[in-house]
Amino acid sequence: MKRDIAPWLVVPIVALVTLPLMSFPTWVTLTVAGAAMGMMIFLMASGLTLVFGLMDVMNFAHGAFITLGAFIAVSVLGRLAGWTGADSIGLNLLALMVAVLAGAIAAGAVGAVFERVIVRRVYHSHLQQILITMGGLIVAAQLVIVVWGAQPLQVPKPVALRGSFLLGGAAIESYRLAAVGLGVVLYAVIHTVLNRTRIGLLVRAGVENREMVEALGFRIQLLFVGVFVAGAALAGVGGVMWGVYQEIVTASIGDEMTVLIFIVIIIGGLGSITGCFQAAVLVGLTTNYVGYLTPKLALGSNIALMVLVLLWRPRGLFPVAKQ
């Protein structure tokens, strides 16, 4: 079988064709910004694509894990003011890492409860999934308001990650660089787990053919719970990073990302982690390039991108064989 390389070329081509349209330093700035945004979107979206791929479950409450992560960032970084304000990159990064970890744990725990109490009951009906997870989203937003209040909250960004530095004439925000670093590391971890471990193998097999995995003697249900919790935790991490990036957090921060996340997992091919990563970077880049070149089109550019990709490849860039 010859390897299908076309979908791998989309991101490089988009990055290259925009280069002549602007100055090189501007292009570098936008590309780093786009990559950072893409990494954060990837973290937020990765769980959703696997949950859908494995069990055909549509979870419209996924944004709640993002919101939760963002508010955990407010609380944790607020308490670590000594670290975030310290004149030490080490302590600054440590504070961010603590927030990331706390966001992952909190969102993972809530995800476990959500799977047990709600999602498990509606495995076989998309309509019920949509209705009940939408309901869950509303409840979650209210719970966030109960705990953190209805006012937008400021996130104390660690000092070393504020502002930007110049690299060959291009302004680079330090926080974006940190986001790219974390995103690449987590992508590598997810990729390794999926490709090098038995559990990962089972997840990939289950996305393709759930029945056969069961007929080989494995409980897909357990696998699914694991993926759901891991996906929620990743969304929590994405929420922490996104909240710190935005600097202001509201109860709707997760909902605002939901449409974008669905666009990303559809462009990437439902169930594909590679696709999710490529599509997230693609969306991040085009958002930034279009926002600079033709700001008026920024709003519609992601939808247009999705339409174009689907016209070319109706099942996304990296379609998963389904049986």
Partner 1 sequence: MPEPLLSLEGVHTHIGRYHILHGVDLVVPEGELTVLLGRNGAGKTTTLRTIMGLWRASAGTIRFAGQDITAAVTPDIARLGIAYVPEAMGIFTGLTVRENLVLATTAGRFDAARLDAVFALFPVLKTKWHDAAGGLSGGQKQMLAISRAIVEARRLIVVDEPTKGLAPAVIEHLIGGFRMLKESRTTILLVEQNFHMARSLGDGVAVMDDGRVVHAGRMADLAADEALQSRLLGLSLASHQ
Q: How many residues bind partner 1 (CB under 8 A)?
A: 21
- Let me know: does 225 contact 236? Beta carbons within 8 Å: no
Residue from the set 215, 296, 311, 314 that interacts with partner 1 by CB under 8 A: 215
Q: Name the strand (E) or helix (H) holding 295.
A: none
Q: Where are the beta strands (DSSP E) in the chain?
A: 153-154, 164-167, 170-173, 248-249
Taking CB under 8 A as the rule, does residue 211 contact partner 1? yes
Residue from the set 25, 162, 214, 301 that interacts with partner 1 by CB under 8 A: 214
Taking CB under 8 A as the rule, does residue 198 contact partner 1? yes
Name the residue among 287, 265, 310, 203 with its Cα closest to residue 43.
265
In whole angstroms, the minimum distance from the beta carbon of 320 to partner 1 comes to 7
Taking CB under 8 A as the rule, does residue 204 contact partner 1? yes
In whole angstroms, the minimum distance from the beta carbon of 294 to partner 1 comes to 38
Taking CB under 8 A as the rule, does residue 212 contact partner 1? yes
Taking CB under 8 A as the rule, does residue 56 contact partner 1? no
Residue from the set 188, 216, 299, 304 that interacts with partner 1 by CB under 8 A: 216
Helix count and strand count (H, E) for the chain: 13, 4
Q: At what angle do helices 174-196 and 273-293 cross, to 10 degrees?
A: 160
| Segment interacting with partner 1, rule: CB under 8 A, options 78-86, 126-134, 201-209, 287-295 | 201-209
- Let me know: does 185 contact 45? Beta carbons within 8 Å: no
Between 131 and 216, CB nearer to partner 1: 216
Q: Is 155 helix (H, G, I), strand (E, B) or coil?
A: coil
- Neighbouring C-beta atoms of residue 285, cutoff 10 Å: 22
In whole angstroms, the minimum distance from the beta carbon of 116 to partner 1 comes to 18
In whole angstroms, the minimum distance from the beta carbon of 151 to partner 1 comes to 47
Between 121 and 322, CB nearer to partner 1: 322
Taking CB under 8 A as the rule, does residue 256 contact partner 1? no
Binding mask 108-137 for partner 1 (x = CB under 8 A): ------------------------------
Query: CA-CA distance, 322 to 269, in Å (whole number)?
Result: 11
Query: CA-CA distance, 113 to 156, in Å (whole number)?
Result: 30
Strands 170-173, 153-154: pairing is unpaired
- Let me know: does 116 contact 188? Beta carbons within 8 Å: no
Query: CA-CA distance, 137 to 141, in Å (whole number)?
Result: 6
Taking CB under 8 A as the rule, does residue 217 contact partner 1? yes
Taking CB under 8 A as the rule, does residue 213 contact partner 1? yes
Between 130 and 205, CB nearer to partner 1: 205
Q: Give the binding site for partner 1 (CB under 8 A).
A: 1, 198, 201-202, 204-205, 208-209, 211-220, 320-321, 323
